[in-house]
Amino acid sequence: MTASQRRTQLIGIGRSLFAARGLDATTIDEIAAAAGVSKPVIYEHFGSKEGLYTQVVELEFQALLQSINDALAAEAKPRILVEQAALALLGYIEERTDGFRILMRDAPPSQPEGAFATLLSHVAERVEDLLADEFSRRGFSAADGAMYAQMLVGMVAMTGQWWLDHRQPDKRAVAAHLVNLAWNGLTGLQKDPELTSDA
């Protein structure tokens, strides 16, 4: 096995073990045994168990971010972009379940606030840019766009976390329901909303 192949193997094994048990509960001995190598081989490639974990998180972070960025980069109407972004997240969860579990779980040393929280912040910035034109066209405050972007991204992210363990209905149906709530809620958006309990 070449050094590159070994590194890829160790990342794959690490991903599976970290997803199942978490960073703290996974030992370097378990990783080495699963890979059929000695512990020094892991140290040689990653420096430590935490180094391997950080590499796994970084790869998963970039894969999910790229998927969502690609979905939001298309020239399409806002509703279609919301659909594509929801499907991108749900597709990632479906295809890379272990990676999503890791992103949700332990914060790596390089991202003490948490990988998933960092990712959501990046996505919210993109969504804020997309909402800016729509808000401007409707005469809404551009400053509110950041808040609404957080709400939309949070809604999709929380639904993704729920779907991770349920998997019913299928991802297209879940995405359709997400867009139904987000879009139909947005179409009736009030410029200066008030709580009914304050009336």
Give 10-residue mean pLDDT values along the chain (199 residues): 94 96 94 96 95 92 90 83 89 93 73 73 84 78 81 89 90 89 76 69
Q: Which long-range contacts (CB under 8 A, 24 or more apart) does 33-41 make?
A: 35/6, 35/9, 35/10, 37/6, 37/10, 41/6, 41/10
Predicted confidence at residue 112, as pLDDT, reads 59
Q: Tell me what pLDDT residue 197 has.
A: 67
Instruction: Give pLDDT, residue 195.
Output: 65
pLDDT at 136: 79
Q: Where are the domains of the chain?
A: 55-188
pLDDT of residue 128: 83
Predicted local confidence at residue 21, as pLDDT: 92
**DSSP label at residue 196:** G
Enter the pTM of the model.
0.82
Amino acid occupying residue 158: M
Q: Tell me, what's the pLDDT at 26? A: 95
| Nearest in space to 116 (alpha carbons), one of 170, 166, 60 | 60
CATH number of 55-188: 1.10.357.10
Measured CA to CA, the distance from residue 22 to residue 164 in angstroms comes to 16
